[in-house]
Chains A and B, each alone.
Chain A
């Protein structure tokens, strides 16, 4: 059994080799965030009289793909990616996801926004795993200034990179999954696959009323701030926040009742109208099969080659 390989470096190199790359990563995230904000700023108002997916980007093979095939394929493929254990196939999965993005003509800004959402979570692995991964025979450990308890395990770094690559590969696929069909169509596809219809309805209504809820919370928060409320670590703050949350709950509860009344008043009888969906064709099945074959190849490669 080969012994772990140690590399001794002076302590002053710790910030250079660990914290500087991390800082660069954080700076990159902030830059990305600003870029996304700038790019997502509306220019001219788009034409809302036509469906957003009617022209241009809305004519890709993924947009035309049967929504049930799309959900099942991407779900199964995602599980395949999760099962990968090595960095190279995980990076290959990222490449496949990027290819899918190009084919789906997905919006760069929206993709970046999704990536931004996971950067904190993924970044944590890069900090924690190299410092906490158990040292196995054959591992390379960088030790700074003779502090053995602060060993930086490169295998841990590789593991973190593998997890990050898998997370990125799956996150990149969320845009083709969710943005190539209107949300009600996707949810209806889910219910046609056997998911309880009520879940689809709840997701749809939650998505709609999340914005209303957010606006209400923001207005109430402003109402408190203009009367001098600032969050502190004292009992008064705790009481004020409890009142705020209680009132928000009461308002949300009352709105829920009113929305349900409004739905009943317009003839709702427990079911949302089903959108017209074209029948599944052989083309849809072929596309699903090809994609799953790619997934199978990645898994096989992961198990055999590395």
Chain B
């Protein structure tokens, strides 16, 4: 049992920008996506819309800009329902940022794309271009105004998509996972841009640390219903509520990187002397020296890379978007072939051997959709095993083992396309693990996962006894899963250090724009909000229990105030030195011995 929803304190209680009354929505296949949604949003609200994958968040914000029409109930914007004409006008005031920027960048150049909205608002071409240029300048892309969207990096595309909305000077911004798959530097850029936005902001994200910095109100959706609507501080301070809705990210806060290893010196990297963290006698599983790769168009992707690691090592590669991490992985998988020395398991990787590297190296892709294409889970896992030439009985056994390893027992006949993001990620992992690779590569394994999915994935990965190469922007996962970290920048390996040294060294963290400062700051603030210990304070209760009034014994819901010590999680907002002067602000549930004794209360 956790706290019941309380009415939220609106920033402007007299005005309502959006009013959702009894909103319900069914997909064309009759699946119920939203039901009984009642929500008032005031101008200037900054709302975090949170919930597990599939809880109805994206469906809800699509209603707020009229892309979906409710099956029941209604949506009002500025006190009017979305009639056809009114909706067209409203859309010019409401900006919706999609999760995948390629969905949104349909213009021929960035300038043309950013000017699209202002042109629809009725501006002339020169005026629209001025607005577009200003927006591009805001997001730091004015130097690329005439570049085609497909020639941008992912982070640049995300910012360009935001510029397209900012150029319209919207009153409302609806953001769907604005920072998913961004490196920390780009994430910080987004945070700065959105923090400066003066209008109403509604943001969907699984990243509660990011939301904590950005929003002041939190709406929790669960299975298409609003479960909670309270302040952001209240949301993050209630671990039990977070846990019940699959949002508990606190596991990220409690585990600091254990300095359980000797502080190895970081390695100076040069092209022909790769750093090896473990015993030098043992042959390396992978050994790259002076390895260089150019794209067919001549762009240098990897330059003079030196890298060696041994069987059983767990290593991370970090770096900004476009640093060359994915290209390096492609080379390790044999998908690309560069110049230089490449030994796998002590033997040179020749042209012929490159074609068989897949037998020993497995990779879980960043986007599950790139890896899953079969009509059933069973076929999906068996695909690689068939290529390896296993007998049907062996295939069956390995499929069962792999599913058990990732906690997907009983999913054999499910369609991968219809599974949730977390399940698909674990299925991708199962597909690779079934092939028992010598080297397991994970490319951004936490991208798009909700906290529950992340925690489950983490527990699975911790148990694996395999040589691991992790590419991630998620420093928590890097710290938890690896013991050695490489920092890449512009196709080069800049540093090679023990992970705990890397995570504690601000110089390394900031080496290539990987700024984690705000995450650490917010993490500490949230930890302070979540602290738990015993208190003795007067507080109010709303509960039912059997009790006596003189001679009669009965049971009913009633409220009363009393004082007794109990243990609960609470916060000390705004206090440098907590005074523990707790006001009876909240209802909280705990044991109340002696409640069946005589006590007086109004009936």
- The judgment on whether A and B are partners is yes
State in angstroms the CA–CA spacing of A219 and B366 once bound together. Answer: 10
Chain A residues with Cβ below 8 Å from B373 are 220, 223-224, 240, 243-244, 246-247
Binds A, one of B120-128, B462-470, B529-537: B120-128
Q: Which of B95, B117, B296, B335 contacts A226 (CB 8 A)?
A: B335
Question: With contacts A48-B146, A222-B335, A273-B116 known, is A264 near B359, CB below 8 A?
Answer: no
Interface centre among B94, B126, B373 (most CB of A within 10 A): B373
B143 with A266: CB separation less than 8 A:
no
Q: Which of A120-128, A132-140, A255-263 contacts B (4 or more CB under 8 A)?
A: A255-263
B150 close to chain A: CB less than 8 A: yes
Q: Are the C-beta atoms of A208 and B106 separated by less than 8 Å?
A: yes
A240: chain B residues within 8 A (beta carbon): 373, 383
The 8 Å CB contact of B120, one of A182, A211, A269, is: A269
Given A42-B299, A265-B96, A267-B88, are A259 and B106 also a contact pair (CB < 8 Å)? yes
Q: Which residue of B lies closest to A258 (CB)?
A: B103
Task: Report Cα–Cα, A258/B58, bound state, in Å.
Answer: 12
B67 — which chain A residues lie within 8 A by C-beta? Answer: 261, 264-265
Q: Contact between B297 and A42 (Cβ–Cβ < 8 Å)?
A: yes
User: Which residues of B lie under 8 Å from residue A207 when comparing CB positions?
Assistant: 108
Task: Report if A226-B363 is in contact (Cβ < 8 Å); known contacts: A184-B112, A244-B373, A273-B116.
Answer: yes
Q: Tell me the chain A residues, 267-295 only, with Cβ under 8 Å from chain B.
A: 267-269, 272-273, 275-276
A37 within 8 A of B: yes
Query: With an 8 A cutoff between CB atoms, is B34 at the interface?
Result: no
Contacts of A229 in B (CB 8 A): 383, 387
B104 within 8 A of partner (CB): yes
- Interface pick from A21-29, A49-57, A110-118: A49-57
Given the known inter-chain contacts A208-B108, A227-B387, A258-B100, please indicate yes or no for A265 contacting B65, CB distance below 8 A.
Answer: yes
Given A49-B145, A259-B103, A261-B67, CB of A266 within 8 Å of CB of B164: yes
Q: Which residue of B lies closest to A255 (CB)?
A: B103
From A207, A211, A226, A255, residue with most partner B Cβ within 10 Å: A226
Q: Mark A178-207, 1 if CB is under 8 A from B, else 0.
A: 000011100000000000000000001101
- Give complex CA distance A99, B121 in Å: 44
Nearest chain-A residue to B65 (Cβ)? A265
Partner pick for B92 among A182, A208, A251, A267, CB 8 A cutoff? A267
- Chain A residues closer than 8 Å to B145, beta-carbon distance: 48-49
Which of A47, A204, A264 is within 8 Å of B108, CB to CB? A204
CA A60 to CA B221, docked complex, whole Å = 60
Q: Is the CB of B369 within 8 A of A251?
A: yes
Alpha-carbon gap, A49 to B144, bound state (A): 5
Task: List the B side residues contacting A17 at CB < 8 Å.
Answer: none
Closest to A259 in B: B103
Known: A49-B142, A227-B384. A267 touches B120 (CB 8 A): yes
Interface residue? B497 (CB, 8 A): no
Is B494 part of the contact surface with A, judged by Cβ < 8 Å?
no
* A251 to B100 alpha-carbon distance, docked (Å): 13
Q: How large is the interface on B (under 10, 10 to 19, 20 to 34, 35 or more residues)?
A: 35 or more
Contact between B65 and A223, CB atoms less than 8 A apart? no
Contact between B435 and A262 (Cβ–Cβ < 8 Å)? Answer: no
The chain A residue sitting closest to B144, CB to CB, is A48
Chain B residue numbers with a CB within 8 Å of A41 are 297-299
CB distance from B94 to the nearest CB of A (A): 8
- Residues of chain A within 8 A of B297, CB atoms compared: 37, 40-42
Contact of A228 with B by CB under 8 A: yes
CB-CB nearest in chain A for B165:
A266
1/0 contact string of B113-147 vs chain A (CB within 8 Å) = 00111011100111010000000000000111111
Bound together, the chains give a CA A216 to CA B164 distance in angstroms of: 24
Residues from chain A with a CB closer than 8 A to the CB of B580 are: none
Residue of A212, A228, A230, A255 near B388 (CB, 8 A) is A228
Whether B104 contacts A262 by the Cβ 8 Å rule is: yes
Assess whether A225 is interfacial by the CB under 8 Å rule: yes
In the complex, per-residue mask of B82-113: 1 if CB is within 8 Å of any chain A CB, else 0: 00000010011011101010111111110010
Q: Mark B220-255, 1 if CB is under 8 A from A, else 0.
A: 000000000000000000000000000000000000
> Does A296 touch B at the CB level, under 8 Å?
no
The reply to whether B370 and A226 form a contact with Cβ atoms under 8 Å apart is: no
A47–B148 Cα distance when bound, in Å, is 13
Asked if residues B117 and A266 are in contact (CB atoms below 8 Å), the reply is: yes
Most B CB within 10 A of own CB, among A50, A183, A222, A227 = A227
Give CA–CA (A42, B300) in the complex, Å. Answer: 10
- Given B143, B358, B375, which contacts A228 in the complex, CB threshold below 8 Å? B358
Tell me whether A264 and B106 are in contact in the complex, defined as CB-CB below 8 angstroms, given that A223-B370, A227-B431 are known contacts: no
| Chain B residues within 8 Å of A49, by CB | 142-146
B330 on the interface (CB 8 Å rule)?
yes
Given contacts A261-B62, A273-B116, A273-B125, contact A266 B91 (CB under 8 A): yes
13 contacts between A and B (CB under 8 A): A49-B144, A208-B108, A212-B102, A222-B370, A226-B333, A228-B358, A230-B355, A230-B387, A255-B100, A266-B104, A267-B168, A273-B125, A276-B125
Known contacts A244-B373, A266-B164, A268-B120; 16 further A-B pairs (Cβ under 8 A): A37-B297, A42-B298, A49-B146, A182-B109, A208-B149, A225-B358, A227-B432, A240-B373, A251-B369, A255-B100, A255-B102, A258-B103, A261-B98, A262-B103, A266-B165, A273-B116
Closest 3 CB pairs of A and B: A41-B298, A228-B387, A267-B120
